[in-house]
């Protein structure tokens, strides 16, 4: 491999690895996350508090205010819908890493708000008024919790293509390092060999004599 070709190949591999790193790896987690998104969407049609559905909480409707909807309940619905139904679905269908990361983070925030939503309603006078949580919010919590952990291999596992390119880059860099070391060793041996030094001096003296003659 020539010195000019080596840097070019190294740059090409680096660019290919950069592009591969932007793509999610294949795995069963993709289908689990898509199923979580679908289940959360279905749960939105079921009662979240009393007989008010998740969609009504999403829209901050009069019905949700009538059952004294809590801020944590609204935040859970908003973050869960954006994180799972929107971002997760897009990320898993397009396999885009940059979309998956915010999808994971927002879904994680939704999980925290879901726990706070359950605690806040149960500890307030709203519970005493008979405005209990419906099956919809419990069903929505399930895919949120599952998705937070299903996202881990999607975020932290490298795609097979990226791994293969990384191995090629490592091999190329190792070859270049060996070549550089060999050239350096050859140059040092030439500089330190007294026979080669005497030969160069002899040739220089002969050229000087020929020039004078």
User: Any idea where the domains of the chain sit in the sequence?
Assistant: 1-23+159-213, 24-157
Give the Cα separation of 76 and 117 in Å (integer): 7
Stretch among 101-105, 118-122, 164-168, 195-199 having the lowest mean pLDDT: 195-199
Pick from 44, 42, 37: nearest CA to 87: 37
Is pLDDT of 82 > 90?
yes
Mean pLDDT of 12-33: 74
Q: Which residues are paired to 49 by β-bridges?
A: 52, 133
Range in 42-46, 117-121, 141-145, 206-210 the model is least confident about = 206-210
Answer yes or no: are the C-beta atoms of 139 and 39 closer than 8 Å. Answer: yes
CATH of domain 24-157: 1.20.140
For residue 129, pLDDT beyond 80: no
| For the chain, the helix, strand and coil percentages under 3-state DSSP, each to the nearest 5 | 80, 5, 15
Distance from the Cα of residue 33 to its chain's centroid: 15
Average predicted confidence (pLDDT) for the chain: 80
Q: Among candidates 175, 153, 201, which has minimal Cα distance to 31?
A: 153
Q: What is the mean pLDDT of residues 3-10?
A: 50
pTM of structure: 0.69
């Amino acid at each position: 491999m020539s010195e000019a070709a080596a840097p070019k190949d190294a740059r090409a591999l680096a660019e290919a690895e950069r592009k591969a790193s932007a793509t999610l790896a294949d795995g069963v987690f993709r289908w689990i996350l898509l199923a979580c998104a679908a289940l959360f969407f279905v749960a939105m049609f079921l009662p979240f508090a009393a007989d008010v559905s998740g969609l009504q909480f999403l829209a901050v409707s009069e019905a949700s205010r009538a059952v004294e909807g809590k801020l944590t309940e609204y935040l859970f619905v908003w973050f869960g819908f954006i994180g799972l139904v929107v971002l997760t679905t897009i990320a898993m269908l397009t396999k885009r890493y940059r979309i998956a990361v915010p999808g994971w983070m927002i879904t994680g925030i939704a999980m925290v708000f879901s726990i706070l939503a359950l605690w806040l309603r149960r500890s307030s006078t709203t519970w005493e008024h008979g405005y209990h949580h419906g099956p919809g919010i419990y069903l929505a919590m399930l895919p949120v919790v599952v998705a937070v952990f299903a996202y881990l291999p999607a975020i932290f596992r490298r795609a097979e293509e990226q791994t293969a390119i990384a191995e090629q880059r490592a091999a190329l860099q190792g070859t270049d390092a060996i070549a550089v070391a060999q050239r350096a060793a050859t140059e040092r041996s030439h500089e330190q060999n007294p026979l080669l030094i005497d030969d160069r001096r002899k040739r220089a003296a002969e050229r000087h004599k020929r020039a004078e003659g």
